[in-house]
Amino acid sequence: MPQIRPDFTGQTVITTFDVTPGTAHDLLDALTDAWEKVISQQPGFLGGAVHLNDAQTRVATYSLWQARGDYQAMLRTPEMRERNRAINALCRSFEPVMYEVQSVYDT
């Protein structure tokens, strides 16, 4: 399981998807397939997770990469470009954003 650590120097990507309850599980199926067959197999991939909110109107993913360029290279592969077009058709919008860990709080 990916861990969020304050000393992480790689790239964190959080993506949010705006969906309807009618398309949420179709999107989850498409994301699961992409993560299992493409994303998790790419150089530099360290881990990630997919989340669905209770209302089934938002999906959020986060992934950890060794470097920003590893994530960007994955997005440029022909297979992910095709998959992202299909994913885009299942949601109102989606937005991947690259972040750096600023602080972590544990109990």
Q: How do the pLDDT tens digits run along the chain, 107 residues long?
A: 678 888 899 999 999 999 999 999 999 999 999 999 999 999 999 999 999 999 999 999 999 999 999 999 999 999 999 999 999 999 999 999 999 988 888 87
pTM for the full model?
A: 0.91
Q: Please name the fold of domain 11-99.
A: Alpha-Beta Plaits (3.30.70)
pLDDT attached to residue 25:
97
pLDDT attached to residue 1:
65
pLDDT attached to residue 52:
98
pLDDT attached to residue 91:
96
Residue 31: both structure tokens together: 């994301």
- What's the rounded Cα separation, in Å, for the pair 102 and 41? 28
pLDDT attached to residue 3:
80
- What's the rounded Cα separation, in Å, for the pair 30 and 83? 8
- What's the rounded Cα separation, in Å, for the pair 90 and 88? 5
pLDDT attached to residue 46:
96
